[in-house]
Amino acid sequence: MRFPRSSGVLVHPTSFPSRYGMGDLGNEAKRFIDFLVETDMSIWQVLPLGPTGYGNSPYASYSAFAGNHYFISLDALVEKGLLEVSEVQKAVVPVTNRVNYESSYGNKNDLYRLASERFYKNISDEDAQKLEQFKESNKFWLDDYCLFIACSKLNERKPWNQWEPELAQRKKRAMSAFKKKNIDEIRYQTWLQFEFFNQWYSLKEYANEKGVRIIGDIPIFVDHNSADVWANPKYFEVDKQGNRKLVAGVPPDYFSATGQLWGNPLYKWKLLEKDQYSWWVERFRQMFELYDAIRVDHFRGFDAYWEVDAAETTAINGTWVDGPGKKLFNAIKKQLGELPIIAEDLGVMTPSVEKLRDTFQFPGMKILQFAFDSDSGNAFLPHNYSRNCVVYTGTHDNDTTIGWYNSAPDEEKHRAREYTRSDGSEIHWDLIRLGMLSVADQAIFPLQDIMDLDDKHRMNIPGTVVNNWIWRYKEDMLNSVDKERLRHLVYLSNRK
């Protein structure tokens, strides 16, 4: 579908300032939304909001449906009377430009449990009814997720295929006994999800009332060590013991000479088709409730995906296999109606991928940092855009624009200066201006570029597992952004 001509900012909630070690869904999130309003921008794009596992990657989650409970605002719990100011003061850590996951997790765990106990002990009839409504509307995934986390914690966070076989294979007697023995933990995990979604929907309402749309992100694949695979092994390429057989990745590309071996178990698309893609329908149903639009990561995988044997150590030795194509999106559209989807169509695209994207009028992505490594026919140069696309200076996988320019080959720098008619001293603003004035329906920029930041503030380096997802800003950094410059670009480009 087509989106209105508009502009916005890409930033993940972990990057918000906070007294508690990492960003959350509290007042600083609202302050960022206010910043968008002050600059006449109307889009906030986030990364996946699911509970993260090893490495804290938003793209490696314990669930495709659950929320990351560490985003629950402690200050909001104080406002609800579930925590005392003196109690949350103990969780305060120094504010830096790096997320302090270890301290944040450790400090919050005890406070969340205390808030949960008080919630259940003093639950009102109204809250009890809301909780039951939440459980009913999320029954497709909620019970399985809470049980999975309880099992995982008991098993020292080992992958589920390393649990005792009766639980790993979900034997009824073992499952029933575990539920009875761990009812308090399951109730606690249920409250965490209840509170996360309450806070998220409240924040989304705040944004929407101010004219800000939120774009979410849905990874095509799910993590092997997730409630999704554990609860639905028939849909994934795992054996009877839960071990992976075929996994996902991409062949060698711009980011990596050996490709990227993601390790996610591949789908059994034929079985999913027989079930009218019900698991995917429910996944998209929830995403459309959480967000106003969603970016579908690795869109190419729906047309054809890179299949690698689970025994391989790199993604070099793999093969392309046909995906579900338009059958999947037709099934979703039949159930859910219009699909507000952005297709992440980066990398080497084939005519069949482009046809799939265009059949449903999904806008693709244009990355300005990719525009200057070849001649004037480069598809990422603005004069080659169609209107139905989204232009970025870079994404979470790219360096900041200043960082990219500083490390680019001289010829690439020359092309960038020539195209922007500049000396390169403000290359990030030059590219923001290019994106704004382009015909692309939507123009979205990482907050780091708007803040004039270099490579020390990069969010992620694909193919690596350390020092990623840790960037965040301090309050004064947002206050010092040149808002008038942004407003003027919005006005010039008719994106208001």
Per DSSP, helices labelled H in 210-256 are: 227-231
Please give the Cα distance from 313 to 316 (Å, whole number): 9
Phi, psi dihedral angles at 426 (to 5 degrees): -130, 55
**Could you list the active site residues?**
297, 344, 397
116-136 residue pLDDT tens: 999 999 999 999 999 999 999
pLDDT in tens, 306-339: 999 999 999 999 999 999 999 999 999 999 999 9
HSE (CB half, 13 Å, CA atoms) of 124? 6
Task: Walk me through the domains of the chain, giving residue ranges and CATH numbers.
Answer: 6-67+214-492 (3.20.20.80)
Q: Which percentage of the chain shows pLDDT scores above 90?
A: 95
Which candidate, 352, 425, 357, places its Cα nearest to that of 390? 357
Residues 387-436 have pLDDT tens digits of: 999 999 999 999 999 999 999 999 999 999 999 999 999 999 999 999 99
Tokens of 117: 């106990």
**pLDDT category of residue 363 using cuts at 50, 70 and 90:** very high
Q: Any idea of the CA torsion for 226, 229, 231, 233, to the nearest 10 degrees?
A: -160
Residue 96 neighbours by CB distance under 10 Å: 12
Residue range 179-204: mean pLDDT, rounded: 98
The rounded distance, in Å, linking the Cα atoms of 171 and 210 is 49
